[in-house]
Amino acid sequence: MRRVALPRLGTAAAWRNAARGCLAASIPPEDLVWSYDGADGDLFSALAEPAPMEGTVSVPKSFVPLAETVCWHEDPERFARLYAFLWRLRGHPALMADRGDAGLARLREMEKAVRRDIHKMRAFLRFREIDGLGARRRFAAWFEPTHHIAEPNAPFFARRFGDMDWVIQTPDLQVTFTEGEIAFGPGAAKPPLPEDATEALWSTYFRNIFNPARLKVKAMQAEMPKKYWKNMPEAAAIPELIAGAAARARAMQEAAPTLAPARAARIKERLPMPGLLPDDAPEADTLDALRVEAQGCTRCPLYRDATQVVMGEGPPDAPLMVVGEQPGDQEDLAGRPFVGPAGQLFDQIAEEAGLDRSRAYVTNAVKHFKFTPRGKRRIHQKPDAGEVAACRWWVEAERELLRPKLILAMGATAAASVTGQGAGIMKRRGTFEQTEDGTPVLLTLHPSYLLRVPNEAAKAAATRDFRADLELAAARIAELA
Amino acid sequence: MSRCSTLVPIPAPLYILKMGKHDLRQKLAILSDAAKYDASCASSGTAKRSSRDGSGIGSTEGSGICHAYAPDGRCISLLKILMTNFCIYDCAYCVNRVSSNIERARFTPDEIVTLTLEFYRRNYIEGLFLSSGIIRSPDATMADMVQVVRTLRETHNFRGYIHLKTIPDADPLLIEEAGKHADRLSMNVELPTDASVKQYAPEKDPATIRKAMAKVRLSKEAAGEKSHSGKRPARFAPAGQSTQMIIGADASTDATILGQSTRLYSSYKLKRVYYSAFSPIPDATAALPLIRPPLEREHRLYQADWLLRFYGFGLEEITGATKDGNLDLQIDPKLAWALANRHHFPLDVNRAPREMLLRVPGFGVKSVDRIVATRRHRSLRYEDLTRMGANLKKARAFVTVRGWTPGALTDSADLRARFAPPPEQLALF
């Protein structure tokens, strides 16, 4: 028989050293007796030989935090249980991942109980202010944990209440925090603590945040068991709140509606309603006015899911009007066209092609983002013919106000919107067509196509074509100027 | 261009008629009573902070703490109060609407700061959840709220959690500053459809709310990117943004509600959509019937929301198992799906892929992960599943495992009846 006497402070570290020593010396669990905090007396220590307290063994990594936590459990068998499992773990590290193993399941249960107790102490401990020793304010609390958790929990309170001094008294340990130093003292019975006026305010809050129409007593008690109530100032209000809840809820339902106070009408008179344009709003005769008018567009159902209408952007006398497909995720959020990945690619290639981006008006064939939600992302959907047709009204209004010398239509959707024909864009790119009113239209690929082409060679070719088209556009603009 | 920025400022005296007659305790009573209809109490998932060096007060470390529970079963984690319950808006469902005769009060910024710090020092709370009625104008109200959080952070070095209810119509610069101090920002979409918002909250504009949520997402993403010099910009709302929808005030179906949440999650990267069962309020308007709050429906919506986000279910799969677009109130949505799709079952627990195990009623994410980890080493028996935390009362009809086969149970006609509670007499309230 060997004995291991574990101290009250630093229990987990001491258990770890002893377990290491015993395992290295191959001492089986049945030959070991564990004692805690001198509990077994002198007679016993005289009989058994102390166990070795050091050695080297290797255990699965996940065993270490498990053992550390279980050591704080109140079960007197905890040290033996841990060692018995550790003994089985030799040569079978996979046991650690076996959630069906009864021995491990019990340890995990104990671990969970300790963690819960640690959490509940952080939650339900209540400080009262007491006289300070110096410049720092000083607080004290009484708490009765189920397990030996006051010591491992001390650093949490030190991190949280760093600029004050405090004392936490528990039946088996005292924790003090003075001028930033943690210290431990002996356990004691509940000390008298001075009244704290803030408790009345807190109780007021507790009474008033409760909604009597949603009484769920079981849900409350599952999370805040009665054993904690006696040390929580707000808990005194609970019986009365429960008893009065049904009557309060019924009174709210039965109360007849009252007349609005006189000031309500005065206030409401001065509030403009959203979504209404002022009666004297001017005709949309500038691009800015058009942008305002478009905000309320419901010509097709896309407005329901999108964030906002994204109208075109650029100088009102731009010689070039660039038309893309529709705003994407980023454009929808920012409310501006061509700011997402495809827009950035367009900017970059336009610069390489000598196309003056600051002199172009950029817009889209469809002004709302069409997508399907998938988890945390939005997947782009191609707008259908009906949506393109509905939005053409805006594209044409933009074109009429802008009167560009050239339109650059990028991709099939833009081609459909501007020329009425979307098919065959790969064959038509690099060629000039015209709108109904005779404005020349240069067709090209959509930059997002360049981002999607799977193989490198095809991508390079598409990028080359796109750049050539932008160069062509730049040349034509120079000619027409 | 926000049309609401043209709000006419209303002279303050109109609102402060009765000011000054309440003491701090009375104000706290009025302004916490007015705040309880916001469901959120989360205080988790923010940046790690500590005051161990003694230079301030407070800490945040990943998981939040519920410091108390009210008899309504809700967690009390934050001091959830309104700055004022005066409001110039007239939202039918809201206790604070302008046309209500409830008692009004207003905190000074200093009072809020003091309450937060004194409650925090006594370990009552994780921090502050500050919301407000709209007074004078959205900008003026938001500016006052920002001043409170700035004082907490900069004057008092408060490192606890702050949730700020953001006013969508407010100046973007104010929202930008709010995000620098607050852990979480939230804006309520209020009701599941634009039409309902127009009907019941006539002064609110759903488009403005969406634009503001979009801006918060962009600001948060910009704060996550390093600049060209490699410097990290200031943090912006590290615990993200959330929203709330009131359930049962309008006629929207669960399918509509979940469709809206799916869109909100994907569009604005929301951390949470809260569903709040419409519940009786003091001095209610005649425009809305005061019903018993649909708590069961609220619960089913949360379950469906979890299935959509963590269990790989698609929206159509969940709402497709219903007849009228509403979730079955008697059984949970996963069980409803499984009963309607029995051809997938029973599943062999020792072989089925993880994504199918997640669809077994009674198996949660944790138990599925334990099953997958353990079956790498040995094959599982029925007793193992109990120890892994599975709810076998539900799961047994849908799985086979060593020592158990459901036989004809999976396809039995009365399977649903085994789970649905027996009809009960309607309660009077």
Specify whether A21 is located in the same domain as A104: yes
Domain end marker among A120, A136, A151:
A120
Specify whether A18 is located in the same domain as A109: yes
Q: Which residue of B has its CA nearest to A178?
A: B54
Specify whether A306 is located in the same domain as A239: no
User: pLDDT (tens digit, 9 = 90+) per residue, B111-164?
Assistant: 999 999 999 999 999 999 999 999 888 999 999 999 999 999 999 999 999 999
Specify if A302 maps to a domain: yes
**What proportion of chain B, given as a percentage, has pLDDT over 70?**
93
| Residue A247 DSSP SS3 | helix
Q: Which residue of B has its CA nearest to A225?
A: B69
Domain positions in chain B are 11-242, 335-419
B283–A196 C-beta distance less than 8 A: no
Q: Domain tally for chain A?
A: 4
User: pLDDT (tens digit, 9 = 90+) per residue, B174-191?
Assistant: 999 999 999 999 999 999
B65–A123 C-beta distance less than 8 A: yes
Complex confidence, ipTM:
0.91
Asked whether residue A282 carries a pLDDT value surpassing 60, the answer given is no
Chain A neighbors of B279, CB-CB under 8 A: 211, 213-214
A182–B contact, CB cutoff 8 A? no
Q: Which of A101, A208, A292 to mutate to test the interface with B (most CBs of B within 10 A)?
A: A208
Mean per-residue pLDDT over chain A, rounded:
92
Examine residue A145 and say whether the peptide bond preceding it is cis (omega within 30 degrees of 0): no
A135–B contact, CB cutoff 8 A? no
The whole domain housing A211 covers 198-250
pTM of the model: 0.91
Three-state SS across chain B?
CCHHHHCCCCCHHHCCCCCCCCCHHHHHHHHHHCCCCCCCCCCCCCCCECCCCCCCECCECCCCCCCEECCCCCEECEEEEECECCCCCCCCCCCCCCCCCCCCCECCHHHHHHHHHHHHHCCCCCEEEEECCCCCCHHHHHHHHHHHHHHHHHHCCECCEEEEECCCCCCHHHHHHHHHHCCEEECCCECCCHHHHHHHCCCCCHHHHHHHHHHHHHHHHHHHCCCCCCCCCCCCCCCCEEEEEEECCCCCCHHHHHHHHHHHHHHHCCCEEEEEECCCCCCCCCCCCCCCCCHHHHHHHHHHHHHHHHCCCCHHHHHHCCCCCCCCCCCCHHHHHHHHCHHHCCEECCCCCHHHHCCCCCCCHHHHHHHHHHHCCCCCEHHHHHHCCCCHHHHHHHEEEECECCHHHHHCCCHHHHHCCCCCCCCCC
B53–A123 C-beta distance less than 8 A: no
Chain A neighbors of B87, CB-CB under 8 A: none
Specify whether A237 is located in the same domain as A115: no
Specify whether A399 is located in the same domain as A330: yes
Asked whether residue A335 carries a pLDDT value surpassing 90, the answer given is yes
B3–A162 C-beta distance less than 8 A: no
> Which of A238, A275, A334 comes nearest B205 by C-beta?
A275
Whole-number Cα distances in Å, B145 to A413, B32, B94, B130? 46, 16, 20, 7
Specify whether A374 is located in the same domain as A426: yes
Q: Give the lowest-confidence range in A279-288, A306-315, B13-22.
A: B13-22
pLDDT-derived band at B6, boundaries 50, 70, 90: very low
Q: Which of residues 263-302 of B touch A (CB under 8 A)?
A: 263, 265-267, 269, 277, 279-286, 290, 292-293, 295
Determine the average pLDDT of the residues in A347-355: 95
Q: Which of residues 433-472 of A touch B (CB under 8 A)?
A: none
Specify whether A342 is located in the same domain as A414: yes
Q: Which of A99, A117, A290, A291 to mutate to test the interface with B (most CBs of B within 10 A)?
A: A99
- Report domain B11-242's class: alpha beta
B28–A201 C-beta distance less than 8 A: yes
Domain end marker among A103, A120, A137:
A120
B429–A246 C-beta distance less than 8 A: yes
Q: Which residue of A has its CA nearest to B383?
A: A100
